[in-house]
Chain A
Amino acid sequence: GAVVSQHPSRVICKSGTSVKIECRSLDFQATTMFWYRQFPKQSLMLMATSNEGSKATYEQGVEKDKFLINHASLTLSTLTVTSAHPEDSSFYICSAEPGQGAVGELFFGEGSRLTVL
């Protein structure tokens, strides 16, 4: 099946620093990738849609200047959490739709657990 790889799986950083998370589609090209955030015992919340070669589309309430998304190639999207604060600590998960299955069938990366001290 389709594989989406995410790195790093865990990161701990100090408040005020920036953290970059990478998401790669390993065996397919993804013109669109999706970034989700999940707090403990909560559902997945879509943060933004990453579009190759163009600006990301952010969901309401998500600060685009704080969560920088770059989708420079068909296999790589990055999410940078700038000036991270403890409230940004969460599980960040990227996903992509390979197009081999039905529309809406997402394959997820392993997730990145961010802890901001």
Chain B
Amino acid sequence: QKEVEQNSGPLSVPEGAIASLNCTYSDRGSQSFFWYRQYSGKSPELIMSIYSNGDKEDGRFTAQLNKASQYVSLLIRDSQPSDSATYLCAVNVYSGGGADGLTFGKGTHLIIQP
């Protein structure tokens, strides 16, 4: 059973601080990794994708990947109340990389306190 694990939270972070979200996965053959943001009652939206070890930055968001540790994280700098949402980690477990191989974690509920 291929699994993607996330702490469900809630993770509470003061406004302006750095929010750190973590995800581990079980399949060493995983090739691509994604972070989606989902507001309550809404569908997910893609925030970041990462494919190689190291950091990838996009604005206030930084994705970090460590394949040896089977660990992927998302850092949100200068957290804003609008960042309050559930963050879903998704891992592609098929070597072909097609989207039908995506497995989602249950998500971490992030709360940014004003």
B98 surroundings in chain A (CB, below 8 A): 97, 103-104
Cβ of B63 to closest chain A Cβ, rounded Å: 13
The answer to whether B42 touches A105 (Cβ under 8 A) is no
Query: Contacts A103-B32, A105-B49, A108-B43 given: A34-B100 contact, CB under 8 Å?
Result: yes
A32-81 residues with Cβ-Cβ distance < 8 A to B are: 32, 34, 41-46, 49, 57
Instruction: List the 5 closest A-B pairs by CB distance, nearest first.
Output: A108-B43, A111-B43, A103-B97, A43-B106, A44-B104
B84 at the interface (CB under 8 A from A): no
Interface residues on B, range: 20 to 34
Query: Contacts A43-B107, A108-B45 given: A102-B100 contact, CB under 8 Å?
Result: no
The answer to whether A102 touches B32 (Cβ under 8 A) is yes
A97 surroundings in chain B (CB, below 8 A): 98-99
B80-94 residues with Cβ-Cβ distance < 8 A to A are: 88, 90, 92
The answer to whether A103 touches B42 (Cβ under 8 A) is no
The answer to whether A57 touches B51 (Cβ under 8 A) is no
Cβ of A24 to closest chain B Cβ, rounded Å: 14
A106 at the interface (CB under 8 A from B): yes
